[in-house]
A and B are shown apart, each in its own frame.
Chain A
Amino acid sequence: MPCERKPMRYGHSEGHTEVCFDDSGNFIVTCGNDGDVRIWETLDDEDPRFITVGEKAYSLTLKKGKLVTASSNNTVQIHTFPGGEPDGILTRFTTHATHVTFNSSGSKVAAGSSDFLVKVVEVSDSSQQKTLRGHEGPVLSVTFDPNGDFLASASCDGSVIVWNIEEQAQMIRWPLLQKTNDFSNAKSLCRLAWQPRTAKLLAVPVFTKVYLYERGSWDHVSTLSDDLMTEPINVAAWSPCGNFLAAATVGGFITVWDIESKLCLERQKHEKGFTVCSLAWHPSGTQIAYTDIEGCLGLLDGFSASISKITMPKVNAEKAERCYEDLFEDVDDPVTDEGWDDDNSPTKKAISGVNENEYEDDSFVKPANGWAKNRGAILDDENSLDSGSQMLDQHNFGDNDPDSAVVTTSPLPATLRPVYEVPQKTAPQKAFQPGSTPIHLTHRFMMWNSVGTVRGYSDEQDNAIDVEFHDSAVHHTMHLTNLLGHTMTDVSVEAVVLACPSTDELASKIHCLHFSSWDTNKEWMIDLPNGEDARALCLGRGWAALATSTLMVRLFTIGGVQKEIFSLPGAVVCMAGHGEQLLIVYHRGKGFDGEQALGVQLLQLGRKWRQIISGEPLPISYKSYLCWLGFTDEGTPCYVDSEGVVRMLNRSLGFTWTPICNTREACKSKSDHYWVVGVHENPQQLRCIPCKGSRYPPTLPRPAVAILPFKLPFCQTTTEKGHLEEQFWRSVLFHNHYSFLSSCGYEIDEVGQSQSEKEHQEVLMKMFALSCKMEREFRCVELAELMTQNVVSLAIQYASRSRHMALAQRLSEIALEKASQIYSEQEEETEHSDIRRTLSGYDQIEHKENYHHRQTLEDKPDQEFEKDEDQEEMASQDGLEAPKSSKGGRSNPFKVLSLGKSSPVSCQLRMGNILDKMTSSRKSAPLSASVRKSNKSPIFKPLPTQAKTKAQSTLLQMTDKKAVIKKARENNEARDDQSKQADLSSALSQTEKSETKRSKTGFEVWLEENRKRITMDHPDLDEMDIIREAMGLFRNLSEDERLVWTEQAKGPAGDVKDLKKRKRTEADRDEENEIGQAEVDENNAKKKKAVDPSKLSKFAFQKN
């Protein structure tokens, strides 16, 4: 019984519709939400007649030239048919009727209504009414017993009642259905059907099955079901002969059962899977008309053959067997037929059609839509092959693979219809220009990028292009008439380039308005060879690239010289250019199940051609397509997919792509989108246009650009840890462009770079502090490994201050490692000693001041002190670290400065100090603390005055040590020695604990002597740090030396020889300083330039 499914016709507006045939079967009559009753001569009826019956028509029934409809004015009215003349009102309800039906003779009409009543009215005399009361909810459907005694009705209260019409009494009541509160909310319409002719059976659709009840006994005699019907059955309808029952589900399945064999004879699927809300058999039993809730009318044709065989009344088993045979014959055919037919079945066409439409569609529904369900089908089908029962997907039922034909010849054709789904090919995404709205719009953005916007108008009166530049300094607005029908364009600060596809007469062209040209010819145009169409184009600096339909990329200079051509591995999707980089995305292959298979190429043009990314797959979100492709303003490739995920190339991570933002997260509603127009790394901005309820912005009113922040999809970013981690990796990622730009030979913003470097060290430090707080020492060490060397030293300080000595220990090892690394790097650079000299002078400038300042202080100590200082110096040169620290102190600046760091020397020296400190702390711990217990505070007495000057000059540089600075600042402001002492001593006592105390007096003396040297080496340290450094150094001295110092402090003794020495070194130092001074002066000028604005700016905006 292969029946043919005719394509759907649009009949009514959306909403509930009903259908019936007239008695002769010549007309299909439908009614719908628009209040019209349409009379179709055939399904192909171009212009069906219609009768307007009210604002809405809920139900209709037709018999003997009378058309009864339930309309929205709460009446049930009669119209003549086919004339369409109003013929009076049959009955009224307090609310609208939901279902009307004639009895078999056409003398009575039953109507069920939302006011819980069922009325039975004589057609000839509407005063003859019988009202059946008993439902406790809106009545869903009513059906007459063909013999006229009974009436069955279903209601929203969940009950199905059989009434005796005469007595107006309930015969029986079954609570079968799900309760709902309204007709419109009911899951199923539960259209009951009474078997015609014999009137033996009443069919009640109950969820996914149809129950059959026997007249008289009202027993549940059998159930009709189908494994494929997984959704509630909406409608049931008997064939006129009474041997077949058709039922349609909410999911759009229509199934026909043979009532004797209880076998499923026919299955059809609504072409779009909409809910079928009405079924009607043709009086001949050869056709079934159905309508859906979208207002469409469909027809299943061709039941004739089998029905003619089976409709012959037969009860005995023998005939039943024949039935079976017929059945198999029938089923064999349809399956094979279907298998082949369905390849070009409407369903399939519809889906692919829909997809294509969607691409061009204004609203741009993701193409994945149609396929998402298919995917489910495949999975389910695999199950169904195993279990032989389940097949959930209604959508693709019918899209059978030819393979299935083989399987379905098995003896259980109706129940087992295993389907193997081949993955569906995804329609490959069409080529597009990133930053443009779809071509089919009459007013569209042809390009919106960081340079300007190009708007295209193509309505009847006007076919024009407007080029507008964000920065009017680039060029004034241009207005072009679009005679050639350009569809693609790109705009840069040098030129506007346009391209049009070929037409019948004209070849595809590339047209360039080179407005920055200095000669008088500001325009050129090149025709492409025949049969070659422009697909995508982009502009870089000094070049334009055009990808064509022949899988070729053509490069042009901006002046119109043809340059390189090369082939692409697949059809181009889009291209983007920036500087000398060209980024191409193309179809790598066929995608399946909604996926696009995209590949990406990143080329470095210019003198030295390089393919940086050679055709690797482009990772996009699951079942999405590419929406935007481009570069950040800093030149890092970026793209956006239809799921709103923005990804950026991570050059430092082996050219992988990192998701940096999900624009959908910022959307308020589901249908809102952000249309990305640009990405900036510094400052971190994602420029996009918020589009309410669409994917694309309209050209008018002019859309405003909004800025979205970036957010890497890290876990648990609501916690502080996650937040910091996200911040860290984001700052690392967005730092990459500096190294790229410098490698390309561009000038880079060194201030910005060091700023960002500082920023991520700062974040690291915060993370470190956090995990320190949470006692996660292992994690601390892991973090320390990410830090730069001088931040590690800070970390060590932090750790020791917060009493994590074991941690500090480990950190010192890391510091050592890092230091040796830096040291080894430095060794390589020692040849550039002269340069180094100049640069070390750079630091000396500050010390000069300090030096003078110190003089006064230095006058105080006795000669003995000086002697000891010399000793110390000598000793320190003996020590392992000494050469490193002193030498490193000078040599380091070159290296670090070249990286643009602000505190070049300190890092190296500090490194040495930390080591010193740690080793000495280990060594000297056992030594008793008792000796220097007293006198602790006096040591620091002379410091505050110096601290002030020092701290102020270093404030700006010390941003990464906020806590320390704060303290220093406090101290400055307080100018109170006492408090200062307390602060410092407490800080120190924490840090150094008992070891510190030991060095009291000796240390003080030593410090007096060595302060100068330390400040010189650490220009950026404030007072506290200097002391700390000093302590480290001091502790590094051998025990004997320290003893000497302490003794000195206690009671000085003179030594002439040492005095001499001291003098000599003094002289040396002066000399050194003088040399330094000369060189420093020019450096200083430079430095001032760099520093001054920031200082000024700080002043200026504090007011704000």
Chain B
Amino acid sequence: MDPSEVEFLAEKELVKIVPNFNLDKLYLIGGDLGPFNAGLPLDVPVWLALNLKQRQKCRIVPPDWMDVEKLEEIRELERKAAAFTPVPSPYYMELTKLLLNHASDNIPKADEIRTLVKDIWDTRIAKLRLSADSFVSQQEAHAKLDNLTLMEINTIRGFLLGSLNCMYKLRSNLQPGSSKGQYGDF
């Protein structure tokens, strides 16, 4: 899966906006949205929020967890814990990226939040690499990782699976039976 595809999925998440226009309900396949009342917050999917924001039709209210204090707490927790800790949103990375890129003016302390989320991300990815490493080096048959987000799984999937595949090939080539065959070829 492509990161952009994951991002696409993340755009389905709801986010609170304060529109500056009035509009009746929108009837869409995915469900009805609105009615939009100027000045009255409502929940819309991220894709719509960003679209409206780009047209300067709304103000985005950052999600609860997108707050410096809360993120700092999460970061500390993530650093301390050996395993993965639950993240505030299954799409925290994507949402942070999307919202900060398009609506940083509506999010207080946007830069700090960006850094914090990146920190959390880095910590988690490091953990992920570490566990992949131990998985490979100990030649385990299976492993279980909790609280991973889609984006995180995606980052490592391609490389991990590819390399496991390669290793499998290499290993099977070392096996006596196959080596016999190889010898036979020679």
Contacts and interface: CB of A to CB of B under 8 A. Distances in A.
Nearest to A1103: B29
B108 A701 contact: yes
A1101 B40 contact: no
B39 interface: yes
17 contacts: A450-B39, A469-B20, A470-B37, A471-B20, A473-B20, A473-B21, A687-B40, A702-B59, A704-B16, A704-B18, A705-B40, A705-B41, A707-B40, A1101-B31, A1103-B29, A1103-B31, A1104-B32
Contact of A1101 (B27, B39, B56, B108): B27
Closest 5 CB pairs of A and B: A470-B39, A471-B38, A470-B38, A472-B20, A1104-B31
A1097 B27 contact: yes
B27 A1100 contact: yes
Interface string A1076-1104: 00000000000000000000010011011
Contacts of A471: 20-22, 38-39
Interface string B18-50: 101110000101111000011111000000000
Contacts of B56: 472
B83 to A, nearest CB: 34
Contacts of B37: 470
Given A473-B21, A704-B61, 16 more contacts: A450-B39, A469-B20, A470-B40, A472-B20, A473-B22, A701-B108, A704-B16, A705-B18, A705-B41, A1097-B27, A1101-B27, A1101-B31, A1103-B29, A1103-B31, A1104-B30, A1104-B31
Contacts of A1097: 27
A1097 B24 CA distance: 13
Interface string B43-73: 0000000000000110101000000000000
A452 B40 CA distance: 11
Interface of A: 450, 452-453, 469-473, 687, 701-702, 704-707, 1097, 1100-1101, 1103-1104
A8 B59 CA distance: 52
Interface string B153-182: 000000000000000000000000000000
A1100 B18 CA distance: 26
Contacts of A469: 20, 38
Contacts of A453: 39
B35 to A, nearest CB: 9
Given A469-B20, A1100-B27, A704 B38 contact: no
Contacts of A706: 41
Interface majority SS (helix, strand, loop, mixed), chain B: loop
Nearest to B16: A704
Contacts of A707: 40
A452 to B, nearest CB: 8
A1104 B21 CA distance: 25
A383 B22 CA distance: 62
Nearest to A687: B40
Nearest to B57: A472
Contacts of B27: 1097, 1100-1101
B33 to A, nearest CB: 10
Interface string B107-139: 010000000000000000000000000000000
Contacts of B32: 1100-1101, 1104
Nearest to B59: A702
Nearest to B18: A704
Contacts of A704: 16, 18, 41, 61
Nearest to A702: B59
Nearest to B35: A683
Contacts of A705: 18, 39-41
A1096 to B, nearest CB: 8
Nearest to A701: B108
Nearest to A707: B40
Nearest to B37: A470
Contacts of B20: 469-473
A471 B58 CA distance: 10
B21 to A, nearest CB: 6
A215 B132 CA distance: 86
A453 B38 CA distance: 12
Contacts of B18: 704-705
A377 B39 CA distance: 48
Nearest to B32: A1101
Contacts of A1101: 27, 31-32
A472 B53 CA distance: 13
A242 to B, nearest CB: 62
Nearest to A1096: B27
Contacts of B108: 701
A702 B105 CA distance: 12
Interface centre among B22, B30, B38, B39 (most CB of A within 10 A): B39
A452 B16 CA distance: 19
Nearest to A683: B35
B49 to A, nearest CB: 15
B127 to A, nearest CB: 34
Contacts of B41: 704-706
Contacts of A1103: 29, 31
Nearest to A471: B38
A1100 B31 CA distance: 9
A450 B37 CA distance: 10
Contacts of A450: 39
A1103 B28 CA distance: 10
Interface centre among A471, A701, A702 (most CB of B within 10 A): A471
A705 B17 CA distance: 11
B110 to A, nearest CB: 13
Nearest to A706: B41
A453 B59 CA distance: 15
B183 to A, nearest CB: 64
Contacts of A472: 20-21, 38, 56-57
Nearest to A685: B40
A470 B20 CA distance: 5
A470 to B, nearest CB: 3
A472 B16 CA distance: 18
Contacts of A452: 39
A1031 to B, nearest CB: 43
A470 B40 CA distance: 8
A682 to B, nearest CB: 12
A473 to B, nearest CB: 6
B67 to A, nearest CB: 11
A473 B61 CA distance: 21
A687 B40 CA distance: 8
A471 B18 CA distance: 10
Contacts of A1100: 27, 32
